[in-house]
């Protein structure tokens, strides 16, 4: 949905990652969510009011800890960011429909805690900031992603948030210049079997 905002659905359950607030310069997309994950206290990520729709009030997760909501297991790990004056960023690991989704948020320092490193294994889909400007730049992002050994990588935080050519530079770094953006990703765990760091670009 642009920036670091993603809508993830499984059945009738919807999660929102880092929705921008009404004070953000980013395009605001309103949609009803059951769970909202906010990685850093920035107006570009903490628009929890935009994830409520009608009488649908989401459960909001804003920081490290262990959570279980609607049979979705979430773990949050503290990390560093230099984006928008914030210092604390939360990395989230979400187990959904048998898949492990890891959302790095506005991570700026790849030196994460030993506890986080230990837990962040067997990653199916990694949401990776690549734009610099207070988060990982394209080179550090790719190097860090390869260490985590995800089956698929979804780059984010480029264009309106980070370096305007952040995505292009990241794809070049990864040797994946030919990857075409898709509007929507529909995936099951078996679709990812045998894959190694496949890059998936979503239209924003």
pLDDT in tens, 54-72: 777 899 999 999 999 999 9
Asked, for residue 128, whether it belongs to a domain, the answer is yes
What pLDDT does 189 receive? 94
Asked, for residue 1, whether it belongs to a domain, the answer is no
pLDDT confidence tier of residue 183, bands split at 50, 70 and 90: very high
pLDDT in tens, 114-165: 989 988 999 999 999 999 999 999 999 999 999 999 999 999 999 889 888 9
Asked, for residue 113, whether it belongs to a domain, the answer is yes
What pLDDT does 138 receive? 96
CA atoms within 13 A on the CB side of 86: 27
CATH of the domain at 29: 3.60.15.10
CA 118 to chain centre: 19
Range of the domain at 175: 6-199
Question: Is the pLDDT confidence value at 2 over 90?
Answer: no
pLDDT in tens, 95-109: 999 999 999 999 999
Asked, for residue 204, whether it belongs to a domain, the answer is no
What is the number of structural domains in the chain?
1
What is each CA distance from 75 to 19, 53, 174, in whole angstroms? 19, 25, 28
Closest CA to 3 of 131, 110, 107: 131
């Amino acid at each position: 949905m642009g920036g670091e905002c993603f809508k993830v659905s499984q059945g009738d359950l919807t999660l929102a990652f880092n929705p921008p607030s009404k004070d953000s310069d980013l395009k605001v997309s309103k949609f009803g969510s059951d769970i909202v994950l906010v990685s850093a206290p920035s107006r570009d990520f903490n628009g929890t009011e935009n994830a409520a729709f009608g009488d649908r009030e989401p459960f909001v997760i804003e920081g490290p800890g262990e959570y279980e909501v609607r049979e979705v297991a979430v773990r949050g790990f503290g990390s560093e960011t230099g984006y928008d004056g914030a210092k604390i960023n939360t990395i989230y690991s979400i187990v959904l429909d048998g898949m492990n989704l890891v959302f790095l948020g506005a991570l700026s320092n790849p030196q994460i805690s030993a506890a986080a490193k230990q837990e962040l294994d067997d990653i199916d889909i990694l949401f990776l900031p690549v734009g610099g400007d207070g988060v990982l730049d394209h080179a550090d992002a790719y190097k860090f992603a390869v260490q985590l050994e995800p089956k698929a990588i979804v780059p984010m935080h480029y264009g309106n948030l980070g370096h305007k050519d952040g995505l292009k530079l990241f794809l070049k770094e990864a040797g994946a210049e030919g990857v075409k953006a898709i509007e929507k990703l529909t995936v099951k765990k078996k679709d990812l079997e045998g894959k190694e760091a496949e890059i998936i670009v979503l239209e924003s």
